[in-house]
A and B are shown apart, each in its own frame.
Chain A
Amino acid sequence: MNLAAQDIRHNVGRFVLTAVGIGLLLMLVLGMGGIYQGLVFEATQLVDDVGADLWVVQKNTRGPFAEVSRIPANVEYRLAAVPGVQRAQSFVAHTIQREYRGKPFRMFVQGLDWPEDNGQWLKLAAGRPLAQGHYEMIADQVLGLELGDQIPLGKDVFTVVGLTKGMASSSGDGMAFFTVRDALAVQFDVVGESARLEREARRSRAGSQDFGRVQPELLERAGGPSSTLPALATPLVSAILVKVAPGVDAASVSATVSAWPDVTVYTHEGQRQLLLRGNVDRARRQLGLFRVILVIVSTIIMALIIYTLTLDKTHDIAMLKLMGARNRVIVGLILQQALLLGALGYGIAYYIGQWLYPLFPRRVMITADDLWILAGIVVAISSLASLLGIAKALRVEPNKVLS
């Protein structure tokens, strides 16, 4: 006969309520791990999904996710000429916050190197990849957009033609994919008045120089659109992504490009590690500490509950001892209840978590490893929590039954 089970059956309502409380605490412990896994996933999914072998960025910077990286778009052509390079393409990434339908609208803008890259590699939940070089976008569902929505950004209006699911930046903003040109236009959009003032300033600067005064046509050109001025730099992008040809060692290509004085090269894994160490590490430590505190709080609460349950049974324990029950019978009664409480709490944590985590604003990913770790934690804290109750029970004198 299992005394622990009989006691629980007798007080099933109280036991279940207690287990729900423990379960909610454990759900938070599990959720902390899930939030961390979600951070790692979101931080690295773009790097993983893009599938580039090398990331070429502005010299001495850590790449577009760690800090601002600006590199001329025409580096792409230089890289394409390096032996062993199968493809080089521009990469543009930046976060914007605008207003849409009266609400703040924040998204991570990602440029696709149209026409070579139309977003075919994206896992679309609905719609299609980009089919034209301008005015189309693919958005993540987390942004709350629907197929066919018309989004005004700058002077242009973009139509949502595809929807992805679960693609967010390391800061949790939903991603939106445009062509590189559109992404740059969105980023560097200036209003008409600013453009006119800039052109006037250029004309004024040229007019103050000799060559401007003696060559009126040059003065006229200086006041025109910047895209018509060969003296101005080509557009700047965040990085150039390189895919090496099959059979070619990425390290050898990296060694060649690293010798260039104006760029820095990272491998896919290097860029991934930069993301994890830079963006995620502090969050990981913060979540880890919070998780440890929650585990300690859970243990203390469980210990108090088990202790209280033991106090309620002091008289019965004294009776069992008077009948000659061995210590292992008494220890078993308390330890089994603690473990059952932990196991039920674990089940409740898992069940409620499955229902609740998808409602969190950021991704919560529960892995099998996390579940195993939590199971280990539950066994450990249940055993630890029962120690107080066991110590109390073992001190109960059998003659207490006479009082």
Chain B
Amino acid sequence: MGLKKPRSGADLRPIAERAYARDEAGLGVQLDDPDPALRRWAARDLASHPGAGRRLCARLLVESDPSVREALFTSAAQVGGHAVVDGILPLLRSEQPALRNGAIELLGGLPDVVAPRIQALLQDADSDVRIFTINLLGNLSHPGVPQWLVQVLAREDEINVIGAALEVLAEVGGPETLEPLRAVRARFGDNPFITFAADVAIERIGSA
């Protein structure tokens, strides 16, 4: 015994007969298999099918196995495009933090497709969705981020949304955001949480 070289690449895994076709339709059926191992492989294999975004996102809404979810998120991110963004945005309203966080991370990697949706998300009736959108902005590599955050400072009344925006602005804001920051500080002058967060942002941007 001791060190031993595998005889050939085929030795690395046993050959198993496939129960499903390896095309998009077959993998779509496999996504609903009771065995999470098979669902996970289907999710991974669907990454190479550009039209699979809708299927992957639909499965995310019902999938309960964490390892399959992870593969679904990764494959959806690889597929990208409008169908995926359409399918992922509803997860911002999920009660499950793992789904919300996965959605925020995935959307953060699709800045060009997500950008046209930001205005609507920042005006969503649900303040939690507005906060998660700001969390998303913190992840988004897009030049519009500071301006969207400045709009939040000007329009928003919900303290927790403003607080989230201030936290992101402290990192991404430039000198052009100092005036809006001072304005929001004045508007919420009687709220110690906002004045503190605004002071931190102003101090960090001003001294940079």
Verify that A and B bind, or say they do not. Answer: no
Residues of B within 8 A of A (CB): none
